[in-house]
Amino acid sequence: MKIDLAAIEDASRELYIRALKMLPPDIKEGFDALVTHESDSTARGVLGTMITNITIAERDDNLLCQDTGLPIYNVEIGRGVDVDGYGLKMAIRRGCERATREHPLRSSVVHPLTRHNEHTSCGIEMPAIHIDFIDADETLRITMIPKGSGSENNSFLRMAIPAEGVDAVKTFVIDCVLAAGGKTCPPTIVGVGIGGTSDLCVALAKRAATRALGTHCADPDGAALEAALSPAVNALGVGPQGLGGDATSFAVHVELAATHITMNPVAVNMQCHSARRASATFTPAGVAYGY
Amino acid sequence: MSHHELELPVDEAAVRRLRIGDTVTLQRTLFGIRDATQIHMFDHGRTTRFDLAGHAVIHTAPNVRKVTPDATNPAGYAPVCIGTTTSDRMERFTRPLLERCGVRIIVGKGGLREASAAAFRDLGGVYLAIVGGTAALETTWIEAIEDVDLDDLNPESLWKFRIRDFGPLLVGMDSVGGSLYETVREHAAAKRAAVLATLGVKA
| Tens digit of each residue's pLDDT (9 = 90 or more) over B89-116 | 999 999 999 999 999 999 999 999 999 9
pLDDT band at B133 (very low <50, low <70, confident <90, very high): very high
Q: Over the stretch A139-193, which tens digit does the pLDDT of each residue have?
A: 999 999 999 999 999 999 999 999 999 999 999 999 999 999 999 999 999 999 9
Type of residue found at B203:
A
Question: Per DSSP, which regions of A148-187 are E strands?
Answer: 155-160
Q: Over the stretch A205-230, which tens digit does the pLDDT of each residue have?
A: 999 999 999 999 999 999 999 999 99
Count of alpha carbons within 13 angstroms of residue B20, beta-carbon side? 19
Of A50, A170, A228, the CB nearest to B134: A50
Identify the CATH number of the domain in which residue A121 sits.
Answer: 3.30.1330
Of B82, B154, B184, the CB nearest to A242: B184
In a domain, A156, yes or no: yes
Would the CB atoms of B184 and A243 count as touching at under 8 Å? yes
Mutation to test the B interface, candidates A35, A51, A54, A106, most B Cβ within 10 Å: A106
* A138 and A178 share one domain: no
Note whether B78 contacts A: Cβ–Cβ < 8 A.
Answer: no
* A222 and A143 share one domain: no
* A181 and A249 share one domain: yes
* A116 and A254 share one domain: no
Q: Are B7 and B104 in contact (CB under 8 A)?
A: no
* A160 and A95 share one domain: no
- d(Cα B104, Cα B172) in Å, to the nearest integer? 14
| List of chain A residues whose C-beta atoms are within 8 Å of the C-beta of residue B89 | 153
**Residue A86 DSSP SS3:** helix
Give the residue ranges of DSSP H helices in chain B: 12-16, 35-38, 94-101, 114-123, 135-139, 180-198
- d(Cα B114, Cα B92) in Å, to the nearest integer? 10
| List of chain A residues whose C-beta atoms are within 8 Å of the C-beta of residue B194 | 235
Residue B39, min C-alpha distance to chain A (Å): 12
Mutation to test the A interface, candidates B195, B196, B198, most A Cβ within 10 Å: B195
In a domain, A252, yes or no: yes
| List of chain A residues whose C-beta atoms are within 8 Å of the C-beta of residue B64 | 104, 106
Q: Over the stretch A75-109, which tens digit does the pLDDT of each residue have?
A: 999 999 999 999 999 999 999 999 999 999 999 99
Determine the topology of domain B3-178 in CATH: fumarase (3.20.130)
* A90 and A183 share one domain: no
In a domain, A126, yes or no: yes
Task: State which H helix or E strand residue A95 sits in.
Answer: helix A85-102
- d(Cα A143, Cα A145) in Å, to the nearest integer? 7
Q: Over the stretch A249-271, which tens digit does the pLDDT of each residue have?
A: 999 999 999 999 999 999 999 99
DSSP assignment of A33-55: HHHHH---HHHHHHHHHHHHHHH
Note whether B86 contacts A: Cβ–Cβ < 8 A.
Answer: yes
Q: What confidence score (pLDDT) does residue A21 get? A: 98
Q: What confidence score (pLDDT) does residue B203 get? A: 74
Could you check whether the bond before residue A186 is cis, i.e. omega within 30 degrees of 0? no
Its domain, for residue A120, covers 5-20+64-148+275-290
What dihedral do alpha carbons A123, A141, A51, A240 form, nearest 10°? -60
Of B136, B183, B201, the CB nearest to A62: B136
* A144 and A248 share one domain: no
Q: Are B78 and B127 in contact (CB under 8 A)?
A: no
Please state at what angle helix B180-198 crosses helix A165-180, rounded to 10 degrees. Answer: 170
Kindly tell me if the per-residue pLDDT of B66 is higher than 90. yes
- d(Cα A34, Cα B54) in Å, to the nearest integer? 39
- d(Cα B172, Cα B116) in Å, to the nearest integer? 12
* A282 and A265 share one domain: no
List all residues 6 or more positions away from A282 whose beta carbon is below 8 Å from its beta carbon.
Answer: A1, A3, A7, A8, A11, A139, A140, A141, A142
Of B155, B183, B192, the CB nearest to A106: B155
Question: In total, how many domains does chain A have?
Answer: 2
- d(Cα B191, Cα B200) in Å, to the nearest integer? 15
Kindly tell me if the per-residue pLDDT of A288 is higher than 80. yes
Q: What ipTM score was computed for the predicted complex, to two decimals?
A: 0.95
* A192 and A123 share one domain: no
Would the CB atoms of B196 and A170 count as touching at under 8 Å? yes
Residue A163, min C-alpha distance to chain B (Å): 13
| List of chain A residues whose C-beta atoms are within 8 Å of the C-beta of residue B76 | none
* A144 and A154 share one domain: no
Measure the CA angle with vertex B26, ends B152 and B109; round to 5°: 65
Residue B28, min C-alpha distance to chain A (Å): 22
In a domain, A74, yes or no: yes
Mutation to test the B interface, candidates A47, A67, A118, A153, most B Cβ within 10 Å: A67
DSSP H helix total and E strand total for chain A: 8, 9
In a domain, A91, yes or no: yes
The b/e string for B28-45 (b: 16+ C-beta within 10 A; e otherwise) is bbbbbbbbbbbbbbbeee
* A215 and A193 share one domain: yes
* A79 and A108 share one domain: yes
